[in-house]
Amino acid sequence: MNLLKFVAIAAAVATTFATTTFAETYKVGDLMIEGAWARPSIGKTGNSAAYMTITNTGGTADKLIAVSTPRAGKAQLHTHIRDKDIMRMRHVKDGIPVPEKGMAALKPGGYHVMLMRLQTPIKKGEQIPLTLTFERSGDITIQANVQMKPGMKDGMHKHK
């Protein structure tokens, strides 16, 4: 195997490792938080968004009511709504429900964590701490992997 081919294979393996190895599962009460990731920010101190899946294995509904991170001046729970022909982001003031024996998917185009007034840029390959506050289960701090949305190329940071 020539050196160039070896380097290409090693880079592919390292990229896969970097985006999948650190996807941890966190547990608080009857809730499991999985697959947490955040988009790289645009510019020096732009905004970002974070996503994850929250599964409730218990018999009582819960609700994600707040989020914080030392990396942003402000973190809020948001969703997208259709306003005529335009999709708009809106702050979710009442929290994101996590039904009993169900799940809440925070994903592009739906519920998400909006990270505003970033202290420093968020770069691909980093992890950022997010403290999630649940109505019943309390607080838990998780790590979100900073990566591109699967299928996106560098530079394609727009919310879809």
DSSP, residue by residue, 9-60: HHHHHHHHHHHHTT--EEEETTEEEEEEEEPPPSTTT--EEEEEEEEE-SSS
Q: Residue 157 has what pLDDT?
A: 45
Of residues 75 and 19, more confidently modeled: 75
Per-residue pLDDT of 51-104, as tens digits, reads: 999 999 999 999 999 999 999 999 999 997 777 777 677 889 999 999 999 999
Q: Which residues neighbour 97 within 8 Å (Cβ) at sequence distance 6 or greater?
A: 61, 62, 63, 104
Measured distance CA(25)–CA(6) in Å, rounded: 33
- CB-based contact 112:67 (threshold 8 Å): no
Nearest CA to 48 among 102, 123, 114? Answer: 114
pLDDT surpasses 70 at 20: no
Superfamily of domain 24-146: PCu(A)C copper chaperone (2.60.40.1890)
